[in-house]
Structure 1
Amino acid sequence: MSWFRALKDTTRSGLSVERKRLEPLVALRGAAGLAVVIAVSLTLFGPTVAAGSAFGGFQAAIATFQRSWRPRPELALASGASLGVSTFLGYLTGSHLVLFLPLLALWTFLAGLSWAAGPTIGIIASSNVAMMLVTITLPTTVAEAAGHAAIMAFGGLVQAALVILFPVRRWGAHRDALADALAAEADYARRLRHDPVAEFDPAPLMLARNAAALTPRQARTRPAQLHGTRGVAERIRPVLASLADPAVGVPAEGPERDRARELLAAAASILDAAARAIRHGTPVSIPPGAIAAFRSPDLGETLSGPARRAATRLGALLRDVVETAGGTPPPAPPAPWAAALRHRLTPRVPLRPGPRLKPLPLNPAPPPAPGPGRPLRRPTLFQLLPVAVRAMRREARPGSPILRHATRVCAVAVAGYLIGGALPLGHGYWAPMSAVMVMRPDFSQTYSRAVARFGGTLVGVALATGVVQLAHPGTEVSAALAVLCAGLMYLLMRTGQLASQACVSAYVVFLLGMGGEAWGQTVPERLVLTLAGGILATLSYALYPAWETPRLRTRLADWLAALGEYAAVVVDHYAHPAGKAAPDVREALLKARDAHIAWQEAADRARTEPVRHRGLSNAAADDAAHALQRLGRVAMLMEAHLPERDATPVPAADALADALRAATRDGARAIRERRVPAWEPVRDALDAWDGEGVPDRVVRRGAGMIAEALQKLSDALDTDDPPMTVKVPETPEK
């Protein structure tokens, strides 16, 4: 992509306004907390302290809006406390340039490295540096500096207290994540009715897993509807795929296919009902037609073999989903069918009166989550510190994009502060503050935010300037207008950078006006210095970039290695049956999903970068990704039919598993070295397999499909080798 097109696309994305669901009650709560902080500061300390302390409450409320699964009070407290510490240190050294510049460089470098611990920590750290640059200009003594720092921490405490006292849709983000995962599987079931080999994006399941990691306090208060449902939902996806796939499920046409479509439609209705119940915290209401589809006694007569096993398994899993979601479960598929029919024909005989039994509770507790009884653990706020330090230490290596980002933001902040101080405009902190606020580790976000910040600054400053010049508001009115702008920012911050930056600009103008800053001292230089900060940020990425395009081959190789290990573990279970409970399969699947998500994010960023590809074009990347998705799908189909402990082992699967591990590791190395991978070990293992008996068509056919997917990967990478011929026998099940 050329620089002109890349800049045009990032400009368009930065100025776009998204249609998102607004949360007025949450915005009102944040604005109320800010109003409390300003009112207390005005009453006790005066307008100067109020102007500085307002940044603490403002930033603490923004922290509660971040997409994080951590408790919101913790985020508010951490934001207020860290901003107070940063500001106090800035106060102590602000009057001495020799001391302040090293502190600014160190603080911005650590803020850049903090992105290694996650975007929430990175945003809070970057905002602390930006707020510090503004607030250190207000007090004059150390005592006032300590008071400002304390009142900023008080702002975080107020926001945390309001979150606890006035919760708005508690556990709402966690409910949405789990409901989105169930809804994604419902959509997948509907697509499988028309496309038996439809692809599935694992991102909703990974998001639900991240949301399921809880702190000890969260684990004690988690709603019952969020217990166990995710684990059951994880096992539904491969069963849906195995029921619809013509290779291991029902034929492409015929009565079995029609029956499978009916079951898939019923499963989609049940999953949607469970998603609605979890999202809104209501009982599950299942359509009667969906229940009838799994109640029909002809299920065993229509389906046979692997399809029948998949249908029976699907009915049991859907029953578990409804039970854990808090509703009446659909009846399990009748088996044996004759016994079920006799049960229907048997007349009901009234029971004799006996001793009075203790009534059962109306809402029994759902069964525990499958697998380990304890939930996924999330470290507490204090336990997070060593975790963040270890993550930052891992990224402090040559070639790391996080380290490059930290270096860029450090250099830009120092250069911007020096340039802003040298210009005869006053308030030179606007340049480094603007740069720090817009800089992100990747190209597209940095450029789009720079454009949005300058555009929003123009709009916000123009509107706020007009109000100030026409109305000449006093201290109290300026404070009220600042709170109003902050509330609008909280309300509109998810709709795009342009609207939120306009509100932030107006907020700062009114807040500094409340502190005694005249309009002529704040607005004109802010426009010029904001533009200077945006130019510095964009130039820094152009001069010292961290492009994702050259690393695409590494991401693809990592994905191949993870998928190869996942497929090898699944195949190995056919040689050594261990039942459905397979923690090693689960662990390999999660690693493969992480690699898949990393590839998707890298590919999306690479498409917006103004650099040429290095041996992996967009078409080749898309074809290779499609081949790896097919490899993962085949492994998932085989996982859905893992043999029981008493099943007959398949000795040839052991050799194939070893061949898959070795071949995919060598193939990953070849991709990194810009060579085409070869799959001779897999070919040899399949040739040796054909001389033995095939006890189950699922495992042998799945092995052939794995080999086909690997060969398609080589074809996507422009191999000159002749395509490998893989025999997929039509052996009926024994």
Structure 2
Amino acid sequence: MSWFRALKHSARSGLTVERKPLEPLLALRAAAGLAITIGVSLWALGPEAAASSAFGALQAAIATFQRSWRPRPELALASGTSLAVSTFFGYLTITHPALFLALLALWTFAAGLSWAAGPTTGLIASSNVAMMLVTVTLPTSVAQAAVHAATMVAGGLAQAALIVLVPVRRWGPHRDALADALAAEADYARRLRHDPVAPFDPAPLMEAREAATVTPRQARRRPAALHGTRGLAERIRPVLASLADPALGVPAEGRARDRVRELLSAAATVLDAAAHAVRHGTPVTLPAPAVAALRTPDTGSILTGPPHRAATRLARLLTDVVETAEGEPRRGTGARQPTPHLPRPTLPRLVPLVLKAMRDELRAHPASPVGRHARRVTAVATTGYLLGTALPLGHGYWAPLAAVMVMRPDFSQTYSRAVARLAGTVLGVAVATAVVRLADPGTRMSAALAVLSAALLYLLLRTGQFAAQACIAAYVVFLLGMGGEQWTQTVPERVVLTLLGGVLAMLAYAVYPAWETPRLRNRLADWLAAQGGYAAAVLRHHADPASASADDIRDALLAARAARAAWHTAVARAEHEPVRHRGLSRVAAHDAEDALTQLGRVAMLLEAHLPDRAAPPVPAAAHLADTLRKATVQGAKAVREHRVPRWDAVRAALTDPAWAGTSDTVVRPAARLLLTTLTTLSEALNGTPAKRR
């Protein structure tokens, strides 16, 4: 993509207002917390302290709107407290320019590295640096700085208290994540009726797993409908695929295929009903035709062998899903038996994990995107601060503030946010200025207008950056007006310096980029190795059912999903980068992705037919598993080195004489499919067009 097209796309993306469901009750609660904080601070401490507390309450509420599965009160407290610490130390050094610049560089570099711990941590840390640049100018003494820091903590505490006292759809995001996973499997079942080899996107299941990872406190309070349903959804996924697949299941046409289509349709209906019940917390309502289809007694006379086992298992799993979605205990478990959960560390235990992630990032390769982002944003923030203070405009902190707020580890987000920041600032400042000039509000009216701007921010936060930045701009104008500053002291320089900060951010990424395009081959290689490890783990289970562990398969599957997600993220970022492909064209990337998707699908089919511990082993599968694992690791190395992988060892393992003595009807046919997908991958990387279905 050319620079012109990349910039055009970024500008359009930044100015887009998305049509997302609004959450007015959440916005009202956050605005109420802000209003309480400002009102109490105005009454007790005065306008300057009220402005500091307002920044703390604003930041705390914004943190609770981030995409995180951690308890919202924890996010509010962590955000308000971290901003207070940043502000206090910033004020101690603000009178010594060189010392403050060093502190700003250190704080900004740490905020850049914090993206290694996740986007929520990165966003909170970056926002703290940006807001610190404003709040350090409000106190006039060390004692006042301590008071202002305390009011920021109080602002976060007020937001956390409101979340506890006025719950709004508690567990709503967790319910939505699980319901989306069930709905995705229902859609998969419907697609399998028409395309028996349709791929499955595991993203909803990955999201549901993240939502199911809870702290000990959350585990004790989690609704019964969220216990165990996700695990059942994971087990249904391969059963659906194996039931529909013509290679290991029933023929493409005929009476058996009609029965399979009927079962898939009924499964989709049941999964949709369970998803609706989980999302809304209501009993599961099953349509009678779907129940009748699953209970038809003649299934055994139509389906035989693996398809019949899959149909029986599907009916049993769907029954468990319905019972679990209604909060009933699983069959064979006691009602009081504690349900195991995926553990999430508490906030105090999270701190060393974040520090470890940042330390690991420091030791990583210099070309690491997060490391380059940390160095880039530090250079821009310090340069912006020096330029802003050198220019005869006043309020020079607006330039580094804008840069820190817009810069992200990837190109597209940085440029789109820069455009949204500038356009939103101009709009917000223009509206706020018009209101100030026409109404000439006093302290209390300015505070009320600031709360109204914040309420609009919370309401429109998820619709895009343009609307959010406009609300933030108006909020800052009203808030500083509450402290006695006239609009002429903030508006002109804010627009000019915001433009300066945005331009610096965009230039920095152009000069010191972290492009995803050159790393596409590495991402593809990681995915290939992970998919090979997943298939090998399943094969080892078939080779020795008595001693095999399901944990090995689960770990390999999660690694494959993580590698797939990293590949898709890289492709999405590379699509809008102004960089030519380096060794991997769009066509080759698309065909290679299809091949690896099918490789995972075949491994999923093998997982659907895992034998019981008492089943006879398949010794030839052990040799094939070791060969496949080594071959995919070597193939990944070849992909990184711009060579075409070869699969002679896998082909030889399929002709091993040990296969002649086995009666297995699943492993060897699936292994042939594995070899076919690997061959297709090599053809795609060699430039041979894939056959389109």
Instruction: Please give the TM-score of this superposition, normalised by the length of structure 2.
Output: 0.97
Contact 2:522–2:639 at 8 Å: present in 1 too? yes
Count of aligned positions: 687
User: Could you say what the CA RMSD is over the residues aligned between the two structures, in angstroms?
Assistant: 1.8
Instruction: Work out which of the residue numbers 473, 494, 497 in structure 2 matches 1:529.
Output: 497
Instruction: Please give the alpha-carbon distance, in whole angstroms, between the structure 1 residues aligned to 2:659 and 2:158.
Output: 74
Show CA shifts across 1:195-228 (max 9, x none): 1111111100001101111111101101000000
Return the alpha-carbon distance in structure 1 between the equivalents of residues 110 and 266 of structure 2: 52
AA of the residue aligned to 1:230: R
The equivalent of 2:237 in structure 1 is: 237
Going from structure 1 to structure 2, the CA distance change for 1:622 and 1:719 (only over 3 Å counts) comes to closer
Measure the CA separation in 2 of the matches of 1:649 and 1:443: 51
Any idea what the Cα deviations from partners look like across 1:7-36, whole Å, max 9, x if unmatched? 111111111111111110000000000001
Counterpart CA distance in 1 for 2:659 and 2:666 is 17
Inter-partner Cα distance in structure 2 for 1:567 and 1:420: 57
Are the counterparts in 2 of residues 627 and 712 from structure 1 also a CA contact under 8 Å? yes
Asked whether the 8 Å contact 1:192–1:198 carries over to 2, the reply is yes
Query: How far has the Cα of 1:719 moved from its partner?
Result: 6.5
- The percent identity for this pair of structures is 70
2:11 aligned partner, one-letter code? T
- Corresponding residue SS for 2:184: helix
What residue is the counterpart of 1:566 in the other structure?
534
CA 387–624 in structure 1, closer or farther in 2 if over 3 Å, else same: same
Q: State the alpha-carbon separation in 2 of the partners of residues 290 and 581 from structure 1.
A: 35
1:616 matched to 2:584? The reply is yes
Matching of residues 60-75 of structure 1 within 5 Å: 60-75=60-75
C-alpha deviation, 1:372, in angstroms? 10
Which amino acid in the other structure matches residue 351 of structure 2?
Answer: L
2:466 maps to 1:501 = no
Match of 1:335 in 2: none
Amino acid at match of 2:478: F
Give secondary structure in 1 for the equivalent of 2:42: helix
Q: Equivalent residue for 2:128?
A: 128
- Where does residue 632 of structure 2 map in the other structure? 664
AA at the equivalent of 2:46: G
1:45 offset after TM fit, Å? 1.2
One-letter amino acid matched to 1:450: A
Within-5 A mapping of 1:301-700: 301-326=301-326, 373-396=339-362, 397=364, 398-578=366-546, 582-689=550-657, 692-700=660-668
- Pairing 1:197-236 to 2, within 5 Å after superposition: 197-236=197-236
- In the alignment, residue 588 of structure 1 is paired with which amino acid? A
Give the Å deviation of 1:302: 1.0
Contact 2:403 2:502 (8 Å CA) reproduced: yes
Q: Given the superposition, is the C-alpha separation of residues 516 and 689 from structure 1 closer, same or farther in structure 2, using an over 3 Å criterion?
A: farther
The letter for the 2-side match of 1:127 is S
1:292-307 to 2 correspondences below 5 Å: 292-307=292-307
Q: Cα 1:372–1:309, aligned 2, differ >3 Å: closer, same or farther?
A: farther
CA drift of 1:648 comes to 2.4
Aligned counterpart, 1:284:
284
The CA deviation at 1:690 is 8.2
**Greater Cα radius of gyration, structure 1 or 2:** 1
Q: Distance in 2 between matches of 1:574 and 1:676?
A: 30
CA distance in 2, matches of 1:226, 1:276: 13
Is residue 718 from structure 1 mapped to residue 686 from structure 2 by the alignment?
yes
Displacement of 1:48: 1.6
Q: Flag the 1:415–1:481 CA change in 2: closer, same or farther, 3 A.
A: same
Amino acid aligned to 2:427:
V
Deviation at residue 373 of structure 1 after TM alignment: 4.8
> Does the aligned pair in 2 maintain the 1:326–1:366 contact within 8 Å?
no
The runs of at least 4 aligned residues of structure 1 exceeding 4 Å deviation read 363-369
2: CA distance between counterparts of 1:592 and 1:28? 41
Do the aligned residues in 1 keep the contact of 2:588 with 2:687 (CA within 8 Å)? Answer: no
- Measured after TM superposition, the shift of residue 578 of structure 1 is 3.5
Indicate the residue corresponding to 1:158 in structure 2.
158
Say which is worse superposed, 608-617 or 480-489, in terms of deviation.
608-617
Match of 1:449, as an amino acid?
R
Q: Does the aligned pair in 2 maintain the 1:129–1:436 contact within 8 Å?
A: yes
Letter paired with 1:519: W
**Corresponding residue for 1:352?**
none
| 1:479-502, Cα deviation, whole Å (9 max, x unpaired) | 000000000000000001111111
**Aligned in 2, Cα 1:366/1:434: closer, same or farther, shift over 3 Å?**
farther
Deviation at 1:691, TM superposition (A): 6.2
Does residue 1:3 correspond to 2:33, yes or no?
no
Find the counterpart in structure 1 of residue 248 from structure 2. Answer: 248
After TM superposition, give the deviation of residue 139 of structure 1 in Å.
1.3
1:579, 1:643 within 8 Å by CA — same for their partners in 2?
no
Q: 1:373 to 1:364 in 2, by over 3 A?
A: closer
Q: 1:427 to 1:23 in 2, by over 3 A?
A: same
Q: What secondary structure is seen at the aligned counterpart in 1 of 2:660?
A: coil
Decide which moves more: 226-235 or 679-688: 679-688
Q: Which amino acid aligns with 1:140?
A: T
Letter in 1 for 2:577: E
**Alignment match, 1:93:** 93
Change (3 A) 1:688 1:223: same
CA distance in 1, matches of 2:31, 2:528: 49
Q: 2:299 is aligned with what amino acid?
A: L
SS of alignment partner, residue 342 of structure 2: coil
Bigger shift: residues 197-206 or 45-54: 45-54
Per-residue CA deviation, residues 629-671 of structure 1 (Å, 9 max, x unaligned), is 0000000001100112222222211211111011111101111
Deviations 1:61-80 (A, max 9, x none): 00110110000000000000
CA distance in 2, matches of 1:98, 1:244: 68
Amino acid paired to 2:437 = Q
Aligned amino acid, residue 239 of structure 1: V
Cα pair distance change 1:578/1:271, threshold 3 Å: farther
Show CA shifts across 1:122-166 (max 9, x none). 000000000000111111111111110000000000000000000
Partner deviation per Cα, 1:609-642 (whole Å, 9 max, x = no partner): 1111110111111111110000000000011001
TM-aligned CA deviation for residue 696 of structure 1: 2.6
